[in-house]
Structure 1
Amino acid sequence: MLFISAPASGQGKTSITAAIARSAVRRGQRVRVFKTGPDYLDPMVLARASGHPVYQLDLFMGGEDHCRSLLTTAAAQADLVLVEGVMGLFDGAPSSADLAARFGLPVLVVLDASGMAQTFAAVATGLARYRSDIHVAGVVANRVGSPHHARMVAEGLPPDLPLVAALQRQEALSLPERHLGLVQALELPDIDARLDAWADAWEAGEALGVGLSAIPHSQITQCAAPQTDPSINTRFSSPSSASSSAAFSDRFSAPFSDHPLAETPLSGLRIAVAQDACFSFIYPANLDTLRALGAEVLCFSPLAGESLPACDGLWLPGGYPELHAAALQQHVTLFPSLRQHLEAGKPLLAECGGMLVLLDTLTDAEGQTHSMAGLMPGSARLQPRLAALGLQSVDWPEGALRGHSFHYSTMETPLTPVARASNPNGGRTAEPLYQQGALRASYLHHYFPSNPAAVAAFFQSVDGHRVRPA
């Protein structure tokens, strides 16, 4: 196993992770990739690179046992397991470093070497020495100008911190972006050619360093036993934190441990899930949870003109309705079928972009206003700056769920929230949760494994009232 991190966002973590994955797959290796923290766009690229779905590892949303189970399963199935970090190595609470320390994952640091020479070694060494409970196994110099530049940035690196690879700067290798991050992999017809080019660049870059094979095999294929030093649980911002391990348990343990489940409480129920370029913000673990609860999951594409299938419950996940509003309006049966679903009292969970589709109107970034389904009173407007970002915990009537918020739109509705989420780190984002009959809606992207019992209870309801025992 190998944890790929960096001192900040924008250093090239995703491209390096994807390049290593695609290179290994081309050599016939079985590869599994994870993404740290809440994210939908990077995992799409990494899934295409590795050939397998990319799951989240997040100590807040899923909890330690959930993360360990995912890692253990991947280790049994793959020759190489990669974990891409989030933001900078020590940023956030819990941070990438917290996750790496918790599971003994060796770290490969990616550094943008543009504009640096020997200082590269100082930055890399500082990252490697900052916390004693993580092991930085090597460093990658990204965006070097030449082989000579690669040799310069390697000067001064200590023997235990080798330059694994140095990738030369190639603007053609970058992926297009939009307001929420990378353009979705499914929207790039040349994504495989791009990934192969990244793999080529990685393999050429290894020739300018010691190569990944120079790192002892045990360091990159085995997950060490979890650390037992209790201080790592709360060492979020600096190694001198004096917080207690109990505080970690209160803030970052999974909330679903006290929610016992019947084996398959959703057995016999059909849950429809909108899934395409408009409704794409879907954690694979959420679909797994629905299936594990016994539901038959029916994915359909409104953008492809597919009708809502006959179902007992419906999930409209987030995505980009502002980019596809015209296509949604042209779908003859979509809005009427959503109305009929709700009028029948069947549960509908709408998240972020899925919620915006249900409003009266949606105004896109160009200022054009589109009529939407009109099933939830209100309107939304895209704005050029970020409106909300952060981890979230919300108390559903059936129990607490965790997730995150990330959106550029603002919304006005006369509905009164039935609950309001909170940020575990005290951030300002506190998303409201709305309930209107069988409809439950929020900007919050829920992580279903954080409380499968609550998810099951909601999808067992009629007009918002539970009708089937768990």
Structure 2
Amino acid sequence: MLVAAPASGQGKTTVAAALARLHARQGRRVRAFKCGPDFLDPHWLRLATGAPVHSLDLWMTGEADCRARLHAAAAESDLLIVEGVMGLFDGTPSAADLAQRFGLPVLAVIDAHAMAGTFGALAHGLQSFRPGLPWAGVLANRVAGERHADMLRGALREPADWLGALPRDAGFSLPERHLGLVAAHELGDAAERLDRVADSLAGTPLGSLQLPQVRFEPPSTGDVAPIAPLLAGRTIAIARDAAFSFIYPANLDTLNALGARLVFFSPLAGEALPDCDALWLPGGYPELHASTLARRSDLRAALAAHAAAGRPIWAECGGMMALFDEIAVPGDGDDAAVHALWGLLPGRVTLQKRLAGLGPQALALGAHTLRGHTFHYSRCETPLVPAVHSRRPQGTAGGEALYVRGPVRASYFHAWFASSPEATARLFDATPLETGAPVAQEHRVDA
């Protein structure tokens, strides 16, 4: 099942995670996926299933990669749940494109607050807008009561499309901040929140719904390419905590397939930089922990020594922000709190209320191209001249800068490592980084 909606903010993550939780509690083996690039919603889906949550995106990860992951998960599961992205038909490619490509029945979640007959029109439009779209039904969210639910159900053209309603209950909502949902591991009652919604879903048809069986074909032989151990014998240290948590499981899988040894450390917990050949500072929320990071003078010195020794650093979005001289974080008034950070990159990063970057991107490194995306609310002011910019999928300008300073490679660009293991290896080896114009990219699947 693909859980979709007319727009963002309708309750897709809540329903997808609670539905997975409900069926997992009933003893089924459930796997969940997220449509499109996302680091935050997968935390809730993983909590619900206890299994890694991978992204499915026909452009960023590629059709062959999607097919391989769905096929592998189906071989060991009873139920697959894919959470959509934005509205059902938003984006190129969209969640609807994914549903049609792989035959995923669509469950439409509609926020029915202050709505009656229009609910039926929305449901009908979502189902019929694109001919041949696999369809499961519709769930009404944030419903006032039984009478309201009866009005919504009566507005549907097909009574069988009704898959139930969730009440308007503050206890069912998942908290948000500027980049999206608060991650599940940051809340002490995350599991209880999901259980409350799962209990409510148990009384709807979704609690015992018999979905149509979907066959996920294995990837063809031509789509499977072995990954050469280009990083064999190299140790990569990875920052991982609440400040640096934007890590795709597939990226770790790719580094392992490249032969790297991975070691993790927490800057927030005061842990030292491990002995390593290369370092990855992933994205996250350094702005929420700037004062703690600023006090890590020992880590600042260790990072400087690491770079002075010519050892590579790949700093991605929030990881890059932590490497600048300063970060300015707005307070309750007009003034911003300015924190001195780790100083490997000259300049200042400033948080702002307006979105500064969003969308899919491609970054060419020599003859190979990484696919990925960008999403940030900060901007940086630096005298550094970008080595290259990423590009949008159509090849247009407007991408993110890649800054190179000695062995430091930094950008707001979030890379999907599996799109090019060769380019990924270049980020973490000690040779000078080659950049070039984006080239056509053949997606690969780790054998």
Matched-pair contact (CA < 8 Å) for 2:153–2:159: no
Following superposition, which runs of at least 4 residues in structure 1 exceed 6 angstroms of deviation? Answer: none
Which residue number corresponds to residue 317 of structure 1?
282
Which residue number corresponds to residue 412 of structure 2?
443
Structure 2 counterparts to residues 402-441 of structure 1, below 5 A: 402-424=371-393, 429-441=398-410
Matched-pair contact (CA < 8 Å) for 2:365–2:434: no
Tell me by how many angstroms 1:172 deviates: 2.0
Which residue number corresponds to residue 276 of structure 1?
241
Matched-pair contact (CA < 8 Å) for 2:267–2:293: yes
Structure 2 counterparts to residues 270-419 of structure 1, below 5 A: 270-366=235-331, 367-397=336-366, 399-419=368-388
Matched-pair contact (CA < 8 Å) for 1:345–1:464: no
Distance of 1:201 and 1:183 partners within structure 2? 22
Tell me by how many angstroms 1:400 deviates: 1.0
Tell me by how many angstroms 1:225 deviates: 6.3
User: 5+ unaligned residues in a row in structure 2: which ranges?
Assistant: 436-447
Structure 2 counterparts to residues 111-130 of structure 1, below 5 A: 111-130=110-129
- The change in CA–CA distance for 1:427 and 1:409 in structure 2 (over 3 A counts) is farther
Matched-pair contact (CA < 8 Å) for 2:244–2:282: yes
1:118-171 deviations in whole A, cap 9, x for unaligned?
221121011101111311111111111111211111114244752112111101
SS at match of 1:43: helix
**TM-score if structure 1 supplies the norm length?**
0.87
User: 5+ unaligned residues in a row in structure 1: which ranges?
Assistant: 227-255
- The change in CA–CA distance for 1:428 and 1:419 in structure 2 (over 3 A counts) is closer
SS at match of 2:208: helix
1:277-320 deviations in whole A, cap 9, x for unaligned?
00011111101100011111111111111111111111101111
Distance of 2:81 and 2:227 partners within structure 1? 34
SS at match of 2:360: strand
Which residue number corresponds to residue 194 of structure 1?
193
SS at match of 1:319: coil
1:40-97 deviations in whole A, cap 9, x for unaligned?
1111111111111211001111110001011111111111110000000001100000
Distance of 1:262 and 1:163 partners within structure 2? 46
Tell me by how many angstroms 1:199 deviates: 1.1
Deviating more after overlay: 110-119 vs 400-409: 110-119
Distance of 1:202 and 1:75 partners within structure 2? 23
Tell me by how many angstroms 1:462 deviates: 4.2
Distance of 1:458 and 1:11 partners within structure 2? 38
Matching of residue 460 in structure 1 with residue 429 in structure 2: yes
Which residue number corresponds to residue 83 of structure 2?
84
Work out the percentage of aligned pairs sharing the same amino acid.
51
**TM-score if structure 2 supplies the norm length?**
0.91
1:241-290 deviations in whole A, cap 9, x for unaligned?
xxxxxxxxxxxxxxx989x7653221111111101000011111101100
Distance of 1:465 and 1:129 partners within structure 2? 48
Matched-pair contact (CA < 8 Å) for 2:235–2:263: yes
SS at match of 2:60: coil
Tell me by how many angstroms 1:178 deviates: 1.1
Distance of 2:206 and 2:409 partners within structure 1? 51
Amino acid at match of 1:202: L
Matching of residue 222 in structure 1 with residue 187 in structure 2: no
Tell me by how many angstroms 1:332 deviates: 4.2
Which residue number corresponds to residue 11 of structure 1?
10
- The change in CA–CA distance for 1:369 and 1:111 in structure 2 (over 3 A counts) is same
- The change in CA–CA distance for 1:61 and 1:112 in structure 2 (over 3 A counts) is same
* Cα-Cα RMSD: 2.1
- The change in CA–CA distance for 1:416 and 1:33 in structure 2 (over 3 A counts) is same
Matched-pair contact (CA < 8 Å) for 2:365–2:433: no
1:297-355 deviations in whole A, cap 9, x for unaligned?
11111111111111111110111111111111222421111111111111110011100
Tell me by how many angstroms 1:415 deviates: 1.1
- The change in CA–CA distance for 1:30 and 1:262 in structure 2 (over 3 A counts) is closer
